[in-house]
Structure formats: structure tokens, C-alpha cells
Amino acid sequence: MSIDVLSLWDFSNPELSEQRFRCELESASSDVRLILMTQIARTYGLRKRFDEARGVLAAIEPEIEDATDEVRLRYRLELGRSYCSPAHDESLLTDDARTRAKQCYDEAFHIGERARLDYLAVDALHMMAMVFPDPAEQLEWDLKTLAYMEGSDQIQAKKWEPSLRNNVGYALHQAGRYEEALKQFELALELRVSAGSVQGIRTGYWMIAWTLRSMARYQEALDIQLRMEKEWDADEKPSPYVYEELEHLYRAIGDEKLAAHNAALRKALSPH
């Protein structure tokens, strides 16, 4: 018996997610309990409490090798994330931390590959790109992950596609390959529109506008970001990332007054 982990997650609220996982612990079987503990560890990681995340994982480590493939995979995946993830500050990403994370992600992927746990195998594989500081290597791993997902016949694994295309697009953008990046972001947006995720759709448009700015297509980018500003404001959740892009765009077209205005709005939301 497994558990639908994703239904319990609210990635924007790790504290709430932790509470949900701990509530489920009360009636959980042995393997489900171990899965829940790995997710509790992840909630700590998202809050940058990496030592606590590793402490949770250390507590269940003696039980891991006799557990199911899913448990063994999730344990290694979350241990890897405790060493190297998007939540880490650059100062924490030492060579040792990257090496430890790489080993964990590699082991997790191979467990998933053998057990045909494709969704989790993709998760582990896509984390490998974050281990490498070199953009070319990141792109290589992003493309490997996308290819693995495309080769899967499992519906759950296919749900990774918009995120993976976003990652490929980001890596291409970093390499200055803007036309190719734009294509990936457009494909990701199409998938997000089909899925109906409002936040995902807005993120997709932001990535497209960000790339258009890099291509000096300022008016197209400006039109998108102004629309995103209105949508976020209507939800009473103004976005500092939109204001930041508007600042850059207005400065690019020579409107220093509006650039300064958006810089002030951004700083008001992100005072630190």
C-alpha cells in the first residue's frame, strides 16, 4: 500500500504540508510511514533547515534497505535534496555537497528505472542538473531528463513535461540561445494552459516575456508583463518578479521614471 503524496503537498506552504504528513503518520503502515517521513524531511529542506532534514532521514535510515523500492528511492532523493537543491544558497553548494547529492540522485534514479517508478525516476534525474554549476552540463542533464520522460508510457511521468521544458528553456536562455529557449517556453505554456494551472500559466508567460526582453523584443515583453501585473494585482498578490522585469523593460526603452517606479514597487515587496 502506498500513498498519494502529491495530494498532501502545498509546495508554497511547507509548514502546512508538514502538518498534513504528520497527521497521516497516526494511521500509517510501516512503508507509508517511511514515505511520510521522507516528505517531512523535504518540508524542512524547503525552509532551508537542511540539518533538520538530514536528522529526520537519519532516524529512519536503519529501516530503509528492507523497505520497498519507493521508500528506498524517496529516501535517497530527499537526502540528495538536503545537500543540493534550488533552496540552497550558493555558499552551501560545496564540492562535497555536490558530490553527495550526485551520488544520492544517481542511486535514486537507478532504483526508479529498475522498478519502473518513472515519475520518481524523472524527479531524481532532473535534480542532477542542479548538481553541476556549468550551464552546458546543466543543459545536457535537462535534455537527458526530457528524453527519459518522453520515453515513458506512464501518465504520471508525462506530468513532468511542462516543468522539464521550462528547465531546458532556462538552460538554453543562460547559454544565449534565445530562439530555442523561447520555443521551449512556448511548449511549456501550451501544456500549462491544458492543465489549467493559473500560477503555472502566469509563470509560463513570465518566462516567455523574460526571453523576449533578452531578444530586444521589448514591446512584446512589456505587453505580457503588464498583463501579468494586472492579473496578480487582481488577486491581491502582486509579484516582485513582474515588477523587476518591468523595471528592466522600462529602462531598456529609456523610461527611467517608470523604471524607478517599478523598482520601488519591487523593493516594497522584497525589502531585504
b/e burial code for range 156-186 (CB count within 10 A of at least 16 → b): ebbebbbbbbbbbbbbbbeeeebebbbbbbe
d(C-alpha 139, C-alpha 51), whole Å: 30
The answer to the question of residue 68 being in a domain is: yes
d(C-alpha 171, C-alpha 142), whole Å: 8
Output the tens digit of pLDDT for each of the chain's 272 residues: 578 999 999 998 999 999 999 999 988 988 999 999 999 999 999 999 999 999 999 999 999 999 999 999 999 999 999 999 999 999 999 999 999 999 999 999 999 999 999 999 999 999 999 999 998 999 999 999 999 999 999 999 999 999 999 999 999 999 999 999 999 999 999 999 999 889 999 999 999 999 999 999 999 999 999 999 999 999 999 999 999 999 999 999 999 999 999 999 999 997 55
User: Nearest 10 degrees: CA dihedral of 109, 31, 155, 20?
Assistant: -110
Question: Are the CB atoms for 60 and 37 separated by under 8 Å?
Answer: yes
The answer to the question of residue 191 being in a domain is: no
The answer to the question of residue 197 being in a domain is: no
Candidates 7, 83, 90; CA nearest to 51 is 83
What pLDDT is attached to residue 197?
87
The answer to the question of residue 166 being in a domain is: no
d(C-alpha 249, C-alpha 254), whole Å: 9
Question: Are the CB atoms for 228 and 209 separated by under 8 Å?
Answer: yes
The answer to the question of residue 235 being in a domain is: no
What pLDDT is attached to residue 271?
56
The answer to the question of residue 214 being in a domain is: no
Q: Provide the residue range defining the domain that includes 43.
A: 1-154
Place of cell 554549476: 133
What pLDDT is attached to residue 42?
98
> What is the CATH classification number for the domain harbouring 141?
1.25.40.10
The grid coordinates of residue 89 equal 544558497
Widest distance between CA atoms in the chain: 64
The answer to the question of residue 11 being in a domain is: yes
Query: How many domains is the chain partitioned into structurally?
Result: 1
The answer to the question of residue 173 being in a domain is: no
The pTM of this model reads: 0.91
Give the CA radius of gyration of the chain: 20
Question: Are the CB atoms for 264 and 271 separated by under 8 Å?
Answer: no
Question: Are the CB atoms for 269 and 240 separated by under 8 Å?
Answer: yes
